[in-house]
Structure 1
Amino acid sequence: MTGRRLLYGANVHANGIRQHYLRYGGTGTPLILVPGITSPAVTWGFVAERLGERFDVHVLDVRGRGLSEAGPELDYGLDAMADDVAAFAATLGLRDYVLLGHSMGARVAVRMRRRHADAALGRILLVDPPVSGPGRRPYPAQLGWYIDSMRLARQGADWQAMRPFLPGWSEEQLRLRAEWLHTCSEEAVTATYHGFHDDDIHVDVPYLDVPTLLVVAGKAGVILPEDEAELRTLLPSLRVERVEGAGHMIPWDDFGGFFAAIDPFLDAAQPGRHDHR
């Protein structure tokens, strides 16, 4: 786990648990990256390296994933994960930070802002969040997809065993997933998956009172045009960028397209830059 911008991995006690994170760059505006349902922090390293060129990046291992605290006694609900992020930022003294969440992490970011309106948050970047919830269209992925791949990883499966689950990924990407997927708690992932259908983040969206960008994966089917329209109604200031050729794991599918979508929004987060759009 080496990289030009990777500074170190560390732990912090926040919101009553041990939270592990990786820090990249170390200068510029702070940025907290919250990954998705089965993505330990290390799997976002290639994105954090690029972000670390301009930002002080902190990639979290969400509770029950990677090297953060786990166990059957933990609360794996959305509120707990949202409180983790707020406590993490406060404990490290981060201010005017960018909160970037992917998938589950984006839902965490939305809930965090409603629960912690006093957090020193500068802007929010939501990457293809599931918009499922009570009475809504279900999340397109099946729970068994996650459970089966995690159980294989816990048995010591190699990268080739990951290929049927993610046929478009490179060998390097699959090797990293095979190496780290076993660190994802089945209890945590199951709770999160059910939360995709039991928690309504739409009620939280109007509370996003800082500049907010939604990035939609054009080929994922997670956010449909009607979903985008509803979110715009709930938050008229919402900005939307689409990466048309990418699936849900946008940076894996189209790295350049991902950064083309987010760079203008992130530029405005830098000291001395102003967002006039």
Structure 2
Amino acid sequence: MSTRCVRQDALADLADIPATSRWVRNGDVRLHVLDYGGSGVPLVVLPGITSPAITMDFVARELRDLVRPVVVDVRGRGLSDSGETYSLQDYASDTLAVLDGLPGIGTDPLLLGHSMGARIAAVAATLRPLRGTVLVDPPMSGPGRGPYPTTLAAFLGQLAEAQRGTDADEVARAWPRWPRREQELRARWLSSCDPEAIRATHEGFEAEDFFDTWPSVPTPATLMYGADSPVVTAEGAEEAAKTNPGASMTEIPDAGHMVFWDNPPAALSLLRECLGAMT
């Protein structure tokens, strides 16, 4: 069994989050979500490969007047169970379980995914009707394409630091542009990630082609990407625009792959515009 650890000081962070912990089951896997409540259109948020739900709190907080954010601890992260497998179909099945099993989500929610979460959102959007889908900097690596720019060794090295006991200063060496609070949350929560989930997901970045799904994602759909992202390059953005011409493309200035962390004001402003057009 893979080693996972949720630190006590990480659990204490939940006291400062304006959200309610809720649980949904997909077969044997229990999934934890942070529900920010409100009467707006539900927005289900799927974070990236090493991002438990709480690390998206600063995004969810800025959207509460517009939508009802519901942020998922993807299987193998945060407080959700680990799984036997971690394919895109597994993750999409979990997402459907949240959409269909969480009270008040309704028949036409919005879906937002960042990085790994964007890949999951793309698959889920082809499996059931949605009000709209926003994909943020989805990995465009895959068979016959370039590799994902962050190596598996780098991810596992960061996880090993977290399991050993890291702090915000050490996180800042890898992510110097991030707001201090986000560096602190990553330091406390990264050890909750299952190394097998990270390993299998990273392998999927190489084995599962985003462009097998993207052309079938229904509109309204928006693909947001960092102007300086090594994950969605200019060539990748051009291919995405051509292969799903009904979708909108939005470039976020002065941002790499971690768009919300790199340039929060611009990324959140553009996201609000996008969601406002869908609600």
Q: Could you state the TM-score of these two structures normalised by the residue count of structure 2? A: 0.90
- 2:136 aligns with one of 127, 131, 136: 127
Partner in structure 1 of residue 73 of structure 2: 61
* 1:138-184 residue CA offsets vs partner (Å, 9 max, x unmatched): 11111111101111111122222222221222332211111000000
Q: Secondary structure at the match of 1:248?
A: coil
**Unaligned 5+ residue runs, structure 2?**
1-12
- 2:249 aligns with one of 240, 249, 269: 240
What CA distance in whole angstroms lies between the structure 2 residues aligned with 1:98 and 1:123? 5
* 1:19-77 residue CA offsets vs partner (Å, 9 max, x unmatched): 00001132210100000000000011011111122211110000000000015xx1111
Q: Secondary structure at the match of 1:43?
A: helix
Deviation at 1:120, TM superposition (A): 3.5
**Unaligned 5+ residue runs, structure 1?**
271-277
State whether structure 2 residue 22 is matched by structure 1 residue 13. Answer: no
Deviation at 1:130, TM superposition (A): 0.6
Q: Secondary structure at the match of 1:58?
A: strand
Q: Secondary structure at the match of 2:131?
A: strand
The residue identity in structure 1 corresponding to 2:99 is A
Partner in structure 2 of residue 32 of structure 1: 44
What CA distance in whole angstroms lies between the structure 2 residues aligned with 1:125 and 1:3? 29
What CA distance in whole angstroms lies between the structure 2 residues aligned with 1:226 and 1:171? 33
What CA distance in whole angstroms lies between the structure 1 residues aligned with 2:14 and 2:195? 28
Q: Which is bigger in relative contact order (C-alpha 8 A, separation at least 6)?
A: 2
State whether structure 2 residue 176 is matched by structure 1 residue 157. Answer: no
What CA distance in whole angstroms lies between the structure 1 residues aligned with 2:171 and 2:121? 29
What CA distance in whole angstroms lies between the structure 2 residues aligned with 1:201 and 1:220? 16
Counterpart contact for 2:139–2:210, Cα < 8 Å: no
Counterpart contact for 2:24–2:97, Cα < 8 Å: no
User: Aligned residue pairs: how many?
Assistant: 265
State whether structure 2 residue 218 is matched by structure 1 residue 209. Answer: yes
Q: 1:215 to 1:170 in 2, by over 3 A?
A: same
State whether structure 2 residue 207 is matched by structure 1 residue 198. Answer: yes
Deviation at 1:4, TM superposition (A): 8.5
What CA distance in whole angstroms lies between the structure 2 residues aligned with 1:17 and 1:216? 31
What CA distance in whole angstroms lies between the structure 2 residues aligned with 1:196 and 1:69? 22
What CA distance in whole angstroms lies between the structure 2 residues aligned with 1:173 and 1:201? 28
Q: Identity, % of aligned pairs?
A: 37
* 1:171-220 residue CA offsets vs partner (Å, 9 max, x unmatched): 32211111000000000001001100100121111211230101111112
What CA distance in whole angstroms lies between the structure 1 residues aligned with 2:61 and 2:180? 19
Aligned CA RMSD, in angstroms, stands at: 1.7
Counterpart contact for 2:159–2:195, Cα < 8 Å: yes
State whether structure 2 residue 103 is matched by structure 1 residue 76. Answer: no
Partner in structure 1 of residue 8 of structure 2: none
Counterpart contact for 2:45–2:111, Cα < 8 Å: yes
What CA distance in whole angstroms lies between the structure 2 residues aligned with 1:57 and 1:267? 14
Q: Could you state the TM-score of these two structures normalised by the residue count of structure 1? A: 0.91
